[in-house]
Each structure stands twice: as structure tokens, then as C-alpha cells.
């Protein structure tokens, strides 16, 4: 008999949505930062990012704005978020 183990998709745990002193949830912040570092040409709207990371829209907007404030991301004229200096993203 063959048994297969199904793995549920990764989800942000309820504790990860607690705000850290800097204003962004630490687990979600780390995950978003890692994704942008892994895929430097990634350019997302708030809605796309919220869907990708299974986060509430308001939390995603706050997180992305925090990353813009720190200089890690830039917000384009059409409200998309990307890494600064990405030659393929211009």
C-alpha cells in the first residue's frame, strides 16, 4: 500500500500578525524581505502582494509602506512595489 503525505501550503500564523515595535509584523516582514531578495525583479501591487502572502490587505499595505520608508523598496507611479535599482524593472 502506498501512502502519500499531503503538505498544506505555508500560512502566516496568527502570532505573526502582531505588530513589532517598528510597526510591522516581524515574521511577515522577514518573509516579504526574503521574497524580494530572492526575486529582485518582482513588482507587485498591494492586492497582488496580499494574495501572494495570504495577508490582510491593510497589513500588506502597512508592511510595504514600512519597507519603502526604510529604503528597501520603492513605490512606482502606478502603485507597484519593487526593489530600487532593478535594471529590469524600469
Which tens digit of pLDDT belongs to each residue from 41-65? Answer: 999 999 999 999 999 999 999 999 9
CB 82 within 8 A of CB 74: yes
Alpha helices for the chain (secondary structure H): 26-38, 46-53, 57-69
pLDDT at 90: 60
Q: Give the chain's radius of gyration (CA, Å).
A: 15
pTM higher than the cut 0.75: no
Binning pLDDT at 50, 70 and 90, where does residue 25 land?
A: low
pLDDT of residue 35 exceeding 70: yes
Please give the DSSP secondary-structure letter assigned to residue 18.
S
- More confident of the two residues 14 and 43: 43
Q: Are 29 and 66 in contact (CB under 8 A)?
A: yes
Does CATH number 3.40.50.300 belong to domain 23-82?
no
Amino acid at each position: 500500500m502506498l501512502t502519500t503525505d499531503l503538505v498544506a501550503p505555508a500560512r502566516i500564523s496568527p502570532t505573526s500578525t502582531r505588530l513589532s515595535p517598528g510597526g510591522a509584523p516581524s515574521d511577515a516582514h522577514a518573509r516579504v524581505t526574503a521574497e524580494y531578495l530572492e526575486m529582485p525583479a518582482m513588482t507587485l501591487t498591494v492586492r497582488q502582494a496580499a494574495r501572494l502572502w495570504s495577508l490582510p490587505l491593510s497589513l500588506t499595505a502597512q508592511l510595504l509602506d514600512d519597507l519603502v520608508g526604510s529604503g528597501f523598496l520603492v513605490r512606482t507611479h502606478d502603485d507597484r512595489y519593487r526593489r530600487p535599482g532593478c535594471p529590469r524593472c524600469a
